[in-house]
Amino acid sequence: MIRAMARLRVRPGCESAVESAWRTAAGQLSRLAGSLRRELLLDANDPRSFVVVTEWADESALHDYENGPVAARFAEAIRPLRETSGAENYRVMRNPDGRGSKIFVDIELTVPADRLAEFERGYAEVAARMAEVPGYLREDLLREPGSDVHHIFAEWRGEAEFYRWIGNPAHAQEEAGPIAPFLLDIRRRLFHDVAHPESRRGPSTGKEIDVHTTTDVLIVGAGPTGLTAAVELARRGIECRVIEKQATPPAQADKAIGIHCRTMEIWADQGIVRDAMDGGIWLTGNMVFVNGVQTHRMSWELPELPYAHLGLPQYETERILTERLATLGVRPQRGAELIAFTEGDDGVLATVATGGGEETVRAKYLVGCDGAHSRVRELLGLTFSGGLGRFPQLFMLGDVDVDWDMPEGHLLRFMHETDGRMDGMLVCVPLRGESRYRIATLAPPRFFAETGGKDAPPGFSEELAEPTLADIQAAIDHLAPAGTRASNLRWSSVFRISHGIVDRYGAGRVFVAGDAAHLHPPAGGQGMNTGIQDAWNLAWKLALAVRGIAAPGLLDSYETERRPEGEEIVGRAVRMAFTDELDRNDLKRQFLQEMSMLLSYSDSPLVGESLSAPDALRAGPGPGDRAPDVGGLQRRGVGHPLRLHDLTRGTRHTLLVYADGSADEGTLAAVGKLCADVRRQTSGQIDVYLLLSPDARAPWLLDPPVVRDAGGEFRAAYGVAGTALYLVRPDGHVGFRSQPIDADALSKNLQLVFGGVR
């Protein structure tokens, strides 16, 4: 902890003006990263002498304050009120040896005995490299007696320095590289020094005695939504904990298969798209048959899409996400079920049942990714808008081989209609493996009889018997081409579809995402993809909130942006479930919509633009739209063209400033200042690039880096001319754009995300 004190003596009669200036400054100070305490003290022996006391988490927080606009504005406000210049009365005090905000980090890893020598060689090198890292103090390498489990127990001067290091992906190579193979599956825990109570951060609930563990974000559920949220938080160095009530991961191809193009882009950003492609198959098109006649066929291999439609069983998706999460030091705690939680002003206290009894977890935020029967949703008292819809029918699923001669990789939909009403439906989704399909169709009537006419609960039925190969063959005989045979049934189940969307996506510090927030029929394969996209939208906002640098309304925008999307998707999936409702006039548009490529947050209050002419930037993505990738960029020193997503990928905002040959020298020189301003305003959570057309002269600038739009692809896709800028959010959507550069409007937009001026 660092304390700064400034003594000032004011002119007679100016006392209340100083107090008023201080109140304004204190409000702004409280929003600065690393600001622990601020007070204005009055000298007991001199009613005209004040002492301004501020306390800071670390050197960089103090440095940012001293050099930032809040300090400058306060100094300016009190300059005419004070008697002396006062500069000589400014003192900074640090805790001896940096204690106070010190933290301890325990990395638990397994080193097999036969690789111990290899590990020790690498570790010696890592220890030497770590000594150079700012904020790192020391560490011990410990081994649990009689086991391969090791602990690297490190001391850091402060939490902020540790997170700065871990939040920079380069650390994995630059410092940890020599022992990287041993860090694929680790557990990371962070401890505060309890001898210094002022260093303890986090919510105070008055029930300290019960608290077993604390974390920044508690995620309930290790399905695709929860795992995505965890990966995104952990990538940003935010401590999170994932609890999952199932003791073992799923291993059957029973749920989602189709992976949308937009999800693939997200996975490219997360570094798992190659694993997904390696484990999946391409879904190359679809065919629809009504009463045995093919009514349409479409190829899904569109050249304009960055990725085709991938087929990957959900258990594989969960495996890949879990492995990615492990590389970030987080492992879901299995066999741990959320029972209850209470919410206070500064955090959430959750009760978790584990094999060893009940545990209490304190977190700053809680995210319920706990699926269709969400306990979080129930505890929050959220209700389904218009009630939870239920289809009366029971459905069955099976994983079988089919011997027909249908085109490879095609999703097949066979429907039967009587008097224009659909009364039979068979959907066959190709799986990896020769002739292997996941079949979905109506369950035979005997299953209805088995329920005794009672309303079967939504989801997979545990009570009803598993459908047999004969049941599946009967559906195929009824709907598929004559003579088709199914064989080799690996798995089957009966399920019931329900649909709906919750009225709110959260309350206070608790949010719901994925199936906990919206339920849909599997038609169109939307559920899992939508859940992943919920988490993708929420996590970057939560990370800023945990760091204390989010604007007050930022977390509310999760619901504002995601709920309309959920509503639209639920409605569409319900319409598609029992009709052959396809927009035949524009199948391509419908497919792009299903792949979430048209998803836009254009109605969000977070996004905006400033245009000098109504048709400026018309050809480019609008505010809230997905920022598309383009190629043909050149960066000095790089021997191959770059893509735009090489610049925007990662966990932060990206500001793309564009200029062509018509930009004057003064405008280009001002980009350096713009760059410094936005870095300050966003607490460094932004990357800035100057994109120049081939004919533009490169200004002499240390920052931002210059990239050439050598092929003119950026200009064409983003519709830029003269000077312009695009702000791309961490989720890959346009947050703001302007033509020409409008620094004031940009700053106002950034305030909606990062809050007041720093």
Ligand X SMILES: Cc1cc2nc3c(=O)[nH]c(=O)nc-3n(C[C@H](O)[C@H](O)[C@H](O)COP(=O)(O)OP(=O)(O)OC[C@H]3O[C@@H](n4cnc5c(N)ncnc54)[C@H](O)[C@@H]3O)c2cc1C
Name the site residues for ligand X (rule: CB under 6 A).
220-226, 243-246, 255-258, 314, 337-338, 369-372, 375, 397, 495, 514-515, 522, 525-529, 531
**Nearer of residues 496 and 547 to ligand X, judged by Cβ:** 496
**Nearer of residues 201 and 436 to ligand X, judged by Cβ:** 436
| Shortest Å distance, C-beta 21 to ligand X | 50
Q: Which residues pair with 695 in a beta bridge?
A: none
Helix axes 15-29, 69-78, angle to 10 degrees: 170
| Shortest Å distance, C-beta 526 to ligand X | 5
Taking CA atoms, 356 is separated from 337, 340, 353, in Å, by: 12, 17, 8
Buried b (16+ CB within 10 A) or exposed e, 175-204: bbebbeebbeebbbbbebeeeeeebebbbe
- The whole-angstrom separation of Cα 4 and Cα 1 is 10
**Nearer of residues 38 and 438 to ligand X, judged by Cβ:** 438
Dihedral, CA of residue 564, residue 565, residue 571 and residue 577, to nearest 10: -170
Helix axes 527-547, 261-270, angle to 10 degrees: 40
**Nearer of residues 179 and 573 to ligand X, judged by Cβ:** 573
Residues in the chain, overall count: 758
| Shortest Å distance, C-beta 263 to ligand X | 8
**Nearer of residues 377 and 649 to ligand X, judged by Cβ:** 377
- The whole-angstrom separation of Cα 743 and Cα 613 is 17
Q: Are strands 389-402 and 357-368 parallel, antiparallel or unpaired?
A: unpaired
Helix residue spans in 578-694 (DSSP H): 587-594, 644-648, 665-681
| Shortest Å distance, C-beta 246 to ligand X | 4
**Nearer of residues 397 and 728 to ligand X, judged by Cβ:** 397
- The whole-angstrom separation of Cα 264 and Cα 277 is 9
Structure tokens at 339: 């029972």
**Nearer of residues 531 and 608 to ligand X, judged by Cβ:** 531
* Apex 440 CA angle, 438 and 444, nearest 5: 130
Q: Give one word for 656, left, alpha or beta, with left for phi > 0 and alpha for psi -120 to 50.
A: beta
**Nearer of residues 223 and 347 to ligand X, judged by Cβ:** 223
| Shortest Å distance, C-beta 508 to ligand X | 19
The H or E element that residue 23 is part of is helix 15-29
Q: Are strands 136-143 and 333-334 parallel, antiparallel or unpaired?
A: unpaired
| Shortest Å distance, C-beta 535 to ligand X | 8
| Shortest Å distance, C-beta 674 to ligand X | 40
Structure tokens at 313: 């069983």
Buried b (16+ CB within 10 A) or exposed e, 398-422: bbbbbeeebeebbbbbbbbeeeeee
| Shortest Å distance, C-beta 337 to ligand X | 4
**Nearer of residues 224 and 730 to ligand X, judged by Cβ:** 224
| Shortest Å distance, C-beta 106 to ligand X | 24
Whose CA is closest to 757, among 654, 688, 680?
680
* Apex 601 CA angle, 600 and 604, nearest 5: 160
Q: Where are the beta strands (DSSP E) in 502-533?
A: 506-507, 510-512, 518-519
| Shortest Å distance, C-beta 314 to ligand X | 6
**Nearer of residues 459 and 641 to ligand X, judged by Cβ:** 459
CB 515, CB 531: distance < 8 Å = yes
Q: What are phi and psi of 184, to 5 degrees?
A: -70, -30
The H or E element that residue 400 is part of is strand 389-402
CB 554, CB 753: distance < 8 Å = yes
**Nearer of residues 221 and 444 to ligand X, judged by Cβ:** 221
| Shortest Å distance, C-beta 461 to ligand X | 11
CB 411, CB 525: distance < 8 Å = no
- The whole-angstrom separation of Cα 501 and Cα 491 is 30
| Shortest Å distance, C-beta 221 to ligand X | 3
**Nearer of residues 56 and 495 to ligand X, judged by Cβ:** 495
| Shortest Å distance, C-beta 414 to ligand X | 17
**Nearer of residues 57 and 528 to ligand X, judged by Cβ:** 528
DSSP 251-302: -SS-S--EE-HHHHHHHHHHT-HHHHHHH-EEE-EEEEEETTEEEEEEE---
| Shortest Å distance, C-beta 594 to ligand X | 10
**Nearer of residues 441 and 654 to ligand X, judged by Cβ:** 441
**Nearer of residues 257 and 692 to ligand X, judged by Cβ:** 257
Residue type, position 123, single letter: Y
| Shortest Å distance, C-beta 369 to ligand X | 5
